[in-house]
Amino acid sequence: MSDKTTSVLADANTNLTLARYSLSDYKIPLFRKGKVNFKYAFLFEGNSTEVMFDIYQLAMSNGYAKPLYSPSGEYMYFKGDIAIMLVAHVDTAHSKKPVIKQDNKRNILWSTKNGLGADDRAGVAAIAEIIGVGLKPHILLCNGEESGCIGARAAVRDIAKPNVNLIIELDRKGVDDAVFYECDNPEFEKYIESFGFKSSWGTFTDISVLCPRWGIAGVNLSIGYYNAHSEYEYLKIDEWKKTVDRVKQMLQNPPGEQFKYIEMRKYNYRRYSLYDYDYYDEYEDYASVKITPEDLASYFGGSELDWEVWLIDNKEYIKEKMLEAIKELIYSYPPTDDLDI
């Protein structure tokens, strides 16, 4: 085998590993097709603009003053009476409207096609439920989280540091997870864990932009969805409600002092964010290419966090282009006795 081919083809023991969305999460669920009775199912059906307007109407009917918003629809911010900010993003990874069904026996919301979009309409629905019972936290809805936290970046550009003691984003898969990203405040972590959450790790979301700029500690909490960014996405409503109830407890008795954002001294990207792209076609060999945000930032400039988001959002496109390039390279070699593939 030539040196050039050897540099592309690698051994078969390397597994595809993604820090945020692992392949083990993408198991095809088998759910019943039942009548949808989830109160906030309509929030999963509209586009980003429509969902923002739905929350606008709900907030105004529950005593909020008119919000601060971006004319281009990047964010919408309501000041509240409780010194806690709730954050969710209105965009999803899917371009088409879901066909929503509910497995009423297991209390699971899902879609027969196009992806449910529970990342992060589940978070938006949680905010709707919270303000619907008369609680008035600060609310920030962001658009474009799936495209690099566009709304969050616009918000920190336009909005002065809010008068809140902590920030809660509702945009985490599963149940009981609390992700603090680069915020290293042990007292804040202990406070969040006192409500039954368990510290976990993640890659990037809106509070990764908001908290460092405003200097306020923040956490991303599980909101009950699974198989994010896939057509098999679903929401466990009981787990969604579990988080909503715990957030209500925080809002009913908020902390009296602000939790400060304390930046982690060093974030281990190679531990938490290593992207290995492997391909297996009709050949017996694997083609393996390893990319890290650190490599991209060093070569092209920009921050490692931004490249982190880019790798996640463009995973399928990258895989497709890499496979095309590898095949083209392999097919460019004439069949000879010396080419062992």
DSSP string, 40-82: TGGGGTS-HHHHHHHHHHHHHHTTPPPPEE-TTSSEEEE--SE
How many whole angstroms separate alpha carbon 161 and alpha carbon 138? 12
Which tokens hold the place of 304? 């490692």
* Ramachandran category for residue 42: left, alpha or beta (phi over 0 → left; psi -120 to 50 → alpha): alpha
CA distances from 263 to 38, 155, 180 (A): 39, 20, 10
pLDDT (0 to 100) of residue 332: 54
Which tokens hold the place of 85? 């900010």
What is the pTM assigned to this prediction? 0.73
95 shares its domain with 172: yes
10 shares its domain with 32: no
- 177: domain CATH number? 3.40.630.10
243 shares its domain with 114: yes
In a domain, 70, yes or no: yes
Tens of pLDDT along 299-326?
Answer: 677 777 777 777 777 777 777 677 766 6
In a domain, 336, yes or no: no
236 shares its domain with 280: no
116 shares its domain with 244: yes
191 shares its domain with 60: yes
7 shares its domain with 49: no
Residue 273 near residue 19 (C-beta atoms within 8 A):
yes
Domain final residue pick, 192, 217, 252:
252
Residue 85 near residue 136 (C-beta atoms within 8 A):
no
10 shares its domain with 144: no
Residue 122 near residue 139 (C-beta atoms within 8 A):
no
38 shares its domain with 180: yes
In a domain, 78, yes or no: yes
Q: Across residues 72-100, what is the average pLDDT? A: 96
43 shares its domain with 183: yes
In a domain, 267, yes or no: no
**What is the extent of the structural domain holding 71?**
26-252
Query: Per the structure, how many domains does the chain have?
Result: 2
pLDDT (0 to 100) of residue 180: 95
Top-confidence range, 31-35, 208-212, 288-292: 208-212
Tens of pLDDT along 115-136?
Answer: 999 999 999 999 999 999 999 9
99 shares its domain with 117: yes
* Residue bearing the bigger pLDDT, 94 or 25: 94
